[in-house]
Structures are given as structure tokens and as C-alpha cells.
Amino acid sequence: MTEISSITPAHPGSGGESPTRESRAKKAALALEASFLSEMLKSAGFGSQVSTFSGGAGEDQFASFHREAIAERMVRAGGIGLAEHFFKAMMEAKDGT
């Protein structure tokens, strides 16, 4: 799997692409993958606990923070490859190809 940080345009500087647009696209792609992973962890029941001290709205709130943090770490560790596809789609959408 190709890391998103290693993805570069075919012809740097062609098409008037600025590095800030590319870096924003990378950041958005990584955030989208992290959001997806967080929702998948939630659906899988990650973070839910069943014990005498569990339950309540507070636990649900903190469990979501925990899932988001885990998802972000998963993405930093390479993720599942969605960010790469999101990034390519964003860059192609600008080029119209």
C-alpha cells in the first residue's frame, strides 16, 4: 500500500497546483479515512463496556473521543488505504479527469 505522504503529482508545478492545495487535500483525505474508521469502530462496538460502573451519557461521549483517537492513530500507522483513494479523487476532480 502506498502511503499518502509519498503521493506526488505526475508533473510537479504543471497545471498551476499550489502545494497548499495538495496539502489541504491530503489533510482532508486523512480526516475522511479517520472519520470512516471511527464510525466502523463504533459499529463494531469498540469502546462500549458492560460492568457495574459503565453506562450513561458521559461514557458515550468519552467513548467517542477514544474511538476518534484510535482511528487517527490507525490512519497515521498506514490506515486501510482509503485516504489514498480520497486524495486521488480530490486531485482528479480538480483536473477534470
More confident residue, 26 or 59: 26
Does 66 reside within a domain?
Answer: yes
Task: Give the pLDDT band of residue 9 (cuts 50, 70, 90).
Answer: very low
Confirm whether pTM is higher than 0.85. Answer: no
* Residue 69 binned pLDDT confidence (cut-offs 50, 70, 90): very high
Q: Looking at the domain assignment, is residue 80 inside a domain? A: yes
Query: Which residue is it, cell 473521543?
Result: 65
Please indicate, yes or no, if residue 14 is contained in any of the structural domains. Answer: no
Instruction: Label residue 29 by pLDDT band (50, 70, 90).
Output: very high
The alpha helices in 1-97, defined as continuous H runs, are: 19-43, 57-76, 82-95
Containing structural domain, residue 28: 19-43+62-97
Residue 1 inside a domain? The answer is no
Is residue 51 situated within a structural domain? no
Number of domains in the chain: 1
